[in-house]
Structure 1
Amino acid sequence: MKLKRDFYLQDCVKVARDLLGKVFVHETKEGIAKGIIVETEAYNGAIDKASHSYKYKRTKRTEIQFGLGGYAYVYFIYGMHFNINIVTGIEGEPQGVLIRGIQPTYGIDLMKERRKTDNLINLTNGPAKLCQAMGITKEQYGMDLCNSNLYIEEGISIEDKDVDITKRINIDYAAEDKDRLWRFSIKDNPFVSIKVKS
């Protein structure tokens, strides 16, 4: 069952935790690709120096973050890769959750073709890799996850004892906010991008 709007209207940290075990889906003309979400990071624009919308910074790129939760915030990084965040929270409060890793469950041959690799573990263990494997580009910016061919389904329940809570990755520029424990991953899952100590 596709997640409803109410799920996304919650605080980004709660959504980041609760997305673990859910199934990320993209239906395209090439086929359907699915994967279990195994790694996420929360970003809160109001207070978080690591967020693109820190202190409510509103730009053409971040505009979607200021709407209701449940929309796709896709952006280009390092001049070569796409990343996808799920907008969370209420209108006017820019928050989001970066999808960092998924475990492929359906459309694996299509994912391999898109990534040009047969290495299953290397297919989706990172935010740029999973975007490429799932066929996510700037065209998906602003898509409604409650009413489009890009969405998240109910999946498996992940108990707290099976969740690693650690610092986020590659945000050393964020001063004290780099130490926030806002990264969530499923313990010992091989599709988690990087093992980081809390």
Structure 2
Amino acid sequence: MEREGLAQGALAVAPRLLNLVLAHGSTAGRIVEVEAYRGADDAASHAFRGRTRRNGSMYSSPGSLYVYASHGMHACANVVCDQEGSAAAVLIRALEPLAGLEQMRRRRPSARSDDELCAGPGRLCAALGIGVALDGADLLAGEGVRLLDDGTRPPEVPLVGQRIGLGTRVGPAAQLPWRFGVPGSGSLSRPFGQRTVTRA
């Protein structure tokens, strides 16, 4: 995807990221689940209350990587997807492992199957070796962490559901259907349309 295509805002970009490939080093996975987060009009967004040192990368150029630590532990990777200076990002929630599986298994020894290696935002970052030190990286630069198009088109009719793990603190924003997935994928962080334990 070209940088211009990533500057259309979170809701437009999120379903188009499905089936693209996220790669880091020798590891790579196909994006099968994402969540859209807008800026000041989205109470669930890190940018809801404005720019801070932590969320600064959300305001970067489209195609930048925004990485934060969830609960101070698990890194979570996001694709910045609006014009520079306007905050919006898409959280990558799950990947289907494609390359470097042996390395992923070493990094994620608790995974019970290959489908679980990258089934969750924290899990995929651990499997691919993505940490907060990579916050702000350019996903389109062709090195380091890379967002790639191998010709696999996004699903014509993606799965759609509510974003995960927001609780009541964000009010109605918790009910917005801004989570998208690839139908039939075995690597989703949790099924669509069901309430189950969230995977980190």
Question: Same fold, TM exceeding 0.5?
Answer: yes
Alignment correspondent of 2:40: 46
Alignment correspondent of 1:187: 183
Post-superposition offset of 1:117: 4.1
Alignment correspondent of 2:193: 197
Q: TM-score, normalised by structure 2?
A: 0.90
Which of the residues 159, 177, 200 maps onto 1:164?
159
Post-superposition offset of 1:160: 2.2
Alignment correspondent of 2:6: 8
Alignment correspondent of 1:17: 15
Question: CA separation in 2, counterparts of 1:89 and 1:58?
Answer: 15
Q: CA RMSD in A?
A: 1.4
Alignment correspondent of 1:93: 86
Post-superposition offset of 1:78: 1.5
Partner SS, residue 151 of structure 1: strand
Post-superposition offset of 1:158: 2.8
Q: Counterparts of 1:146-157 in structure 2 under 5 Å?
A: 146-147=140-141, 148-155=143-150, 156-157=152-153
Question: CA separation in 2, counterparts of 1:158 and 1:71?
Answer: 21
Give the residue type in structure 2 aligned to 1:191.
S
Post-superposition offset of 1:76: 0.6
Structure 1: which 4+ aligned runs deviate by more than 3 Å?
none
Question: CA separation in 1, counterparts of 2:57 and 2:154?
Answer: 29
Preserved contact between residue 125 and residue 191 of structure 1 (Cα < 8 Å) = yes
The total of aligned residue pairs comes to 190
- Post-superposition CA distance 1:91-127 (Å, at most 9, x none): 2210000000000011010111111246212111000
Q: Any unmatched runs of 5+ in structure 2?
A: 195-200
Which is worse superposed, 74-83 or 125-134? 74-83
Question: CA separation in 2, counterparts of 1:159 and 1:121?
Answer: 19
Give the residue type in structure 2 aligned to 1:166.
G
Question: CA separation in 1, counterparts of 2:155 and 2:182?
Answer: 9
Alignment correspondent of 1:103: 96
Alignment correspondent of 2:108: 115
Which of the residues 57, 66, 75 maps onto 2:59?
66
Question: CA separation in 1, counterparts of 2:68 and 2:149?
Answer: 25
Preserved contact between residue 15 and residue 154 of structure 2 (Cα < 8 Å) = no
Preserved contact between residue 46 and residue 93 of structure 1 (Cα < 8 Å) = no
Question: CA separation in 1, counterparts of 2:5 and 2:133?
Answer: 24
Question: CA separation in 1, counterparts of 2:147 and 2:155?
Answer: 19
Identity rate of aligned residues, in percent?
A: 32
Question: CA separation in 2, counterparts of 1:184 and 1:45?
Answer: 18
Which of the residues 162, 174, 177 maps onto 2:173?
177
Post-superposition offset of 1:139: 1.3
Q: Any unmatched runs of 5+ in structure 1?
A: none
- Post-superposition CA distance 1:60-80 (Å, at most 9, x none): 011111121111111111222
Which is worse superposed, 172-181 or 33-42? 172-181
Which is worse superposed, 146-155 or 183-192? 146-155
